[in-house]
Amino acid sequence: MSTRGKPFKACRKCRSLVDKKVEICPVCGSREFTEEWEGAIIVIDPGRSPVARELGLEAPGRYAIRVI
Ligand SMILES: [Zn+2]
């Protein structure tokens, strides 16, 4: 599946998915984003989510599973 045309871009540092017009990552403060990402996960309670632990996600939010 093509990654083009997605409504979000992913932070290169923490993989948070943000709107394309956002310039600073609300999770980690990074300014580096990529539109080349795959899969998405919504984390509500990182401490209780095995997937969030596996991906190293510490804050609730929407994340890309893989950043290319
Ligand atoms: Zn980030």
- Give residue 50 CA to ligand 1 midpoint distance, Å: 20
pLDDT, position 28: 94
The rounded Å distance from CA 36 to ligand 1 centre is 15
Name the E strands within the chain.
Answer: 8-11, 17-19, 33-34, 37-43, 61-67
Asked whether the beta carbons of 11 and 40 are under 8 A apart, the reply is: no
pTM of the model: 0.83
Sorted by where each starts, the structural domains of the chain and their CATH numbers stand as: 8-67 (2.20.28.90)
How far does the centroid of ligand 1 lie from the alpha carbon of residue 2, in Å?
23
What is the C-alpha to C-alpha distance for residues 27 and 8, in angstroms, rounded to an integer? 15
Greatest extent of the chain over all pairs of C-alpha atoms, in Å: 32
Q: pLDDT tens digits, the chain, 68 residues: what are they?
A: 455 567 899 999 999 999 999 999 999 999 999 999 999 999 999 999 998 998 889 899 999 999 98
Beta-carbon contacts of residue 8 (< 8 Å; ≥ 6 apart): 17, 18, 19, 20, 40, 62
